Structure formats: structure tokens, C-alpha cells
Amino acid sequence: MTDKKSLTLLQKIAAASSVAVIVAGIIYWSFQVQNVMELLEMAYG
Amino acid sequence: MINELLLQFAEWLYATSGSRAIEESFYLYNWIEATHVLTIMLCLGMLVFIDLRMLGLAMPGVSAVKISERLNIPMMIGFAIMFITGLLLFYAKPTYTIQSIWFRIKMVLLVVAFVNAVLFHKRMKASASTWEYEAKAPRHLRINAALSLGLWAGVVMTGRLIAYDWFHCYRELPAWLGAAAGCVAD
Amino acid sequence: MELLPFFEWAETSFLGYIGKTYGGVYATFGQSIHLMSLAVLGGSVLVTDLRLLGVIMKDVPSEVVANEAHKWFRIALVFILATGIFMAAAVAQRMYYNDFFWAKMSALLVGIIFVFAIKRPMLKGNHADIQPWLLKLVAVASIMIWFSVAATGRWIGFS
């Protein structure tokens, strides 16, 4: 109970991997959306 | 007669500019379609857990009524999204879809699933306080829940099969099947 | 490692042969059951993660929700993998050259590792012992992963 504030190793890994996954996801999807927008601009100007 | 009217309506829809715009746009159509399919996770995902709870197969220790009431809102949000995107998909391909036997079966299943859901809700409300903390709902409600799972599985399958034209009017079809699919003699 | 021969072999395997030859089996046992499993898998992910985020079922202990949903997650995963392998075998060579297929496989691998090595072990104990922000962070990551798996999967068919 006293160490409720400090994270266990598993919780540290969980936090780090969650952040990594969220960042990767945002990058991947914004890249996809950007690709589509460029394509549409090429097609329709 | 009814098939002629439905086809006329579909042809009129097809000729509108909005319908042409959606079908001819690769991204617009596919994004609507993807949203329709992915929302299955929200709408049917919640529905599955409500039905599984009634059958005693998920969260048996939690009040069945509570589960049903809590999951109802996200389920209905999902349903609203599926309904709107579904309408748009029909709007984009009305003439093809109206003559799809799978689409027609899907609509029938949806109506039956709706009636089943209304019945389920009424029955649950009427007797909930006597059994809500039991692991399984009473038999008649379990039948509703099982039916619900089966009907929605049917909706998913027939929905997926709309993409296939195995029984479309330009194929060789037995007369009854042609009539059921809405084929009109030209 | 060269993977193309494996994909070529998959298409000639028994599974690949069935899926290629019988469109009806492919569409019903492959695609339709894949979608039904998606409903269960997505439902169990959303039930758990929306609970952890405090969006739904706030008056049901999150431990109960997470434990019960995980049982169905595993069942759905078995079905979705089985039907997924069946479908991929039938069109294996096309999959090999499809970017979204590889994006999906990567996201799926991350998802499976994330669930079984991180999320599940962490949620096994008492959730009161876990910082609330961490529970929410893991929930957002989980939704992001499984959304990506499903969305890239749907896009395989479009590209």
C-alpha cells in the first residue's frame, strides 16, 4: 500500500508500450490520410 | 407489381446526383463501407454481451438488467451509425441492391430481430426484479437472447453476401428465386 | 528470409484450394464467420476498454468486466485467426504484395503481444492498485491497436 505511487516493472512496460502504440498509430493513420489527400489533389487539382 | 415499384424507386434514386457521387468516389464509398463494417464491433459487440449475459455465459455475477441497461446506450449509438451508413450504401447502389436476394433476406431478418428485441425488452421489464441476480435469465428470455444472436449472425452473413451476385437477375434463376430477388421481366 | 514461396505454397494447399474453388465456402465460412468473430472480439475489447476509461458500466467492478470479456476475447480470437488464415490462403499471392495485409499482420502481432504479455497480466490483480491514468492509457492503446487491425483488414479488400 505504501508504494502505491511507484509503478511495478510490468506497469512501466505497459505505460511505455501504450505510448509507443498510440504514437505509432497516430503517425500511421495521419500518413494514410495524407497519402489519400495528395492522391485526390493530383486527380482533381 | 411490388417488385416493379421497388425497381422504379431504385432507378429514381440511382439517377440522383448524390447517389452517383458516392458510388463513383472510390474513397467516399469505401470509407462509408468501412465505417459500416467496423461499427459492428460497437453495435453487435455490445449486443452479444447483453445476450451472453442472459444465457449465463458472461458476467453471471452482475445484474442482468444492469448489463442490459448499461450496454444499451453504446449499442444504440453503434446501431445509429450502422443505420445511417447502411442507408448511404443502399443509396449509392440502389438498383443492384434492391434486386439482391441477400439484401432482401437481410431486411427480413432485421425486422424479425427488431420484433424479437422489443419482445425481449418487454418481457425483461415485466419480470426483471425476480431473477436479475441469477446467473441465467428465465427460459423464455433465454430463447429471445439465443434468437437474437442467431438473427444477427444471419444479418452479418447476408450483409456480407450482398457483395456477391450469384443469384442476380442476369443469371439463370428458377422462377421463384427470380421473383424473390425482385427480378422484373423486360 | 524469403516468404514468397510460403505464400505460393499456401495457395496450393488444401485450404487455399477450397477457398479458391468454392466462392460460397469462402464467403460464408471465411468472410461471414470472420465478421461475426469481429463483433465478439471488438465487443470484448470495447466493453473492457470503455469500462477502464470510465465511459460505460461505471457501477460494475472493472475487474469483473475485464475478466469476463477476456474469456470471449480468446474464443473470438481463435475463430478470427482460423477464418483469417483460411481466407488468406485462398488469395495468398495477392496478399504477399498487399501493403495493407502486412500492416494488418504487424498490428495483429503487436495486439496479441500487448494483450497476453502486458494488458492481461496487468489487469489480473486489483485495479485499485493501478494508477487510474495508466488504466486509461492502456485502454486507449488497446482500442487503437484493434481498430487498426480491423481497419487495415477492411482496406485489404479495397486495395
pLDDT digits (tens, 9 = 90+) for C60-107: 999 999 999 999 999 999 999 999 999 999 999 999 999 999 999 999
Q: Report if residue B121 sits inside a domain.
A: yes
How many Å lie between the alpha carbon of C129 and the closest alpha carbon of chain A? 6
Test mutation, C28, C34, C57, C59, chain B, max B CBs within 10 A: C57
In the predicted structure, residue A2 carries a pLDDT above the cut 70:
no
CA C12 to chain centre: 26
How many Å lie between the alpha carbon of B174 and the closest alpha carbon of chain C? 19
- The ipTM is 0.94
Inter-chain residue contact C69 with B161, CB threshold 8 Å: no
Inter-chain residue contact A10 with C110, CB threshold 8 Å: no
Number of folded domains that form chain C: 1
How many Å lie between the alpha carbon of C159 and the closest alpha carbon of chain A? 12
Q: What average pLDDT is seen over chain C?
A: 95
Q: What average pLDDT is seen over chain B?
A: 95
d(CA B137, CA B132): 7
Inter-chain residue contact C44 with B45, CB threshold 8 Å: yes
d(CA B117, CA B148): 7
Which one, of B81, B80, B101, B110, lies nearest residue B178 by Cα?
B101
Contact partners, residue C103, CB within 8 Å, separation at least 6: A28, C148, C152
Inter-chain residue contact A14 with C122, CB threshold 8 Å: yes
- Tell me the three-class secondary structure of chain A, residue by residue: CHHHHCCCHHHHHHHHHHHHHHHHHHHHHHHHHHHHHHHHHHHHC
Q: Any CB–CB contact under 8 A between C148 and chain B? A: no
- Using a pLDDT cut of 90, give the percent of chain A over it: 60
Neighbour-count burial for B57-94, b at 16+ CB within 10 Å, e otherwise: bbbbebbbbbbbebbeebbeebbebbeebbebbbbbbb
**B100-104 long-range contacts, CB within 8 A, separation 24+:** B100/B162, B100/B165, B100/B167, B100/B168, B100/B181, B101/B167, B101/B177, B101/B180, B101/B181, B102/B158, B102/B159, B102/B161, B102/B162, B102/B164, B102/B167, B103/B158, B103/B162, B104/B180, B104/B181, B104/B182
Q: Report if residue B186 sits inside a domain.
A: no
In the predicted structure, residue A5 carries a pLDDT above the cut 70:
no
Extract the C-alpha cell encoding C90: 485462398
d(CA B97, CA B9): 12
Inter-chain residue contact C138 with A4, CB threshold 8 Å: no
Inter-chain residue contact C144 with A14, CB threshold 8 Å: no
How many Å lie between the alpha carbon of B184 and the closest alpha carbon of chain C? 26
CB C159 within 8 A of CB C100: yes
How many Å lie between the alpha carbon of C55 and the closest alpha carbon of chain A? 19
For residues A8-36, average pLDDT: 95
Check the CA dihedral B160-C34-B76-B42 and report its sign: negative
Tally A–C CB contacts below 8 A: 45
Residue range of the domain that includes B131: 2-181
Which residues of chain B fall below pLDDT 50?
none
Specify the pLDDT at position C118.
Answer: 96
In the predicted structure, residue A4 carries a pLDDT above the cut 90:
no
In the predicted structure, residue A44 carries a pLDDT above the cut 90:
no
- Judging contacts by C-beta atoms under 8 Å, the chain B residues touching residue C68 are 58-59
Q: Any CB–CB contact under 8 A between B145 and chain C? A: no
Number of folded domains that form chain B: 1
Residue range of the domain that includes C78: 4-158
CA B53 to chain centre: 21
Chain C residue with the nearest C-alpha to that of A2:
C129
Chain C residue with the nearest C-alpha to that of B150:
C36
- Using a pLDDT cut of 70, give the percent of chain C over it: 99
Among B182-186, C2-6, C112-116, the range scoring the smallest mean pLDDT is: B182-186
pTM summary value: 0.94
Q: How confident is the model at residue C41 (pLDDT cuts 50, 70, 90)?
A: very high
